[in-house]
């Protein structure tokens, strides 16, 4: 199984996935977390952030997630880039695929800006930011959509995902995170 979590930078993907992982891993030893930032630092140091390199990066993540899921691991993926063709590939090539959209709009993630990314682009210090100068392709058919109004905290988001994914729900308790 692959649970693919996507949203703009600053939408909470890493925080939500880390909470899920920490809560479920003791009960699900087969659970693996693939975080886009961590993978970029380890497997994709040869890539930049322009669109072509982002496509290559997601291709690597897709292949790794598919390989791990074929070995009966449950793979939790947190990545920004979400072109329709890439998500469609997931649906056709990954068995037991579940897609999550963290639907925080640009004004919300700009205000959060945990990595200072949006401040750097505003000052002209960086380029190739998805949703600003690179297109954000919001998923058309996610299995669940989390919005910042209903799911204000990472704990709310983690709990919503855990309840929606049957493999997670079987191991989830409301005590797992404070939601």
Domains (range + CATH), the chain: 2-169 (3.40.50.300)
Q: Both tokens of residue 62? A: 């897709």
pLDDT at 45: 79
- Is residue 62 within 8 Å of 86, Cβ to Cβ? yes
pLDDT at 174: 67
Query: Cβ contacts of residue 13 below 8 Å, gap of 6+?
Result: 5, 6, 7, 35, 36, 78, 79, 80, 102
Rounded CA-CA distance 68/138 in Å is 26
pLDDT at 177: 64
Secondary structure of residue 153 in the 3-state scheme: coil
Task: Give average pLDDT by consecutive 10-residue segment, the chain, 179 residues.
Answer: 96 94 96 93 83 91 97 97 92 96 92 88 89 90 89 90 94 69
pTM of the model: 0.92
Q: Which helix (H) or strand (E) holds 62?
A: helix 51-69
Between vectors from CA 126 to CA 124 and to CA 132, what angle results, nearest 5°? Answer: 85
Is the torsion defined by CA of 73, 17, 107, 80 positive or negative?
A: negative
């Amino acid at each position: 199984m692959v649970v693919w979590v996507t949203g703009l930078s600053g939408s909470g993907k890493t925080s939500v996935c880390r909470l899920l992982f920490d809560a479920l891993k003791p009960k699900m030893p087969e659970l693996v977390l693939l975080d886009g930032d961590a993978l970029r630092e380890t497997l994709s140091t040869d890539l930049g952030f322009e669109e072509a390199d982002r496509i290559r990066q997601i291709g690597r993540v897709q292949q790794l997630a598919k390989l791990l899921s074929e070995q009966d691991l449950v793979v939790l993926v947190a990545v920004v880039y979400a072109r329709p063709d890439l998500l469609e590939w997931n649906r056709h090539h990954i068995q037991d695929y579940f897609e999550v959209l963290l639907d925080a709009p640009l004004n919300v993630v700009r205000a959060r800006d945990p990595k200072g990314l949006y401040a750097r682009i505003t000052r002209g210090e960086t380029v190739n930011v998805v949703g600003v100068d690179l297109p954000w392709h919001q998923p058309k058919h996610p299995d669940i959509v989390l919005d910042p109004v209903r799911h204000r905290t990472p704990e709310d988001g983690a709990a919503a995902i855990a309840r929606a994914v049957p493999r997670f729900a079987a191991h989830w308790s409301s005590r797992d995170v404070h939601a």
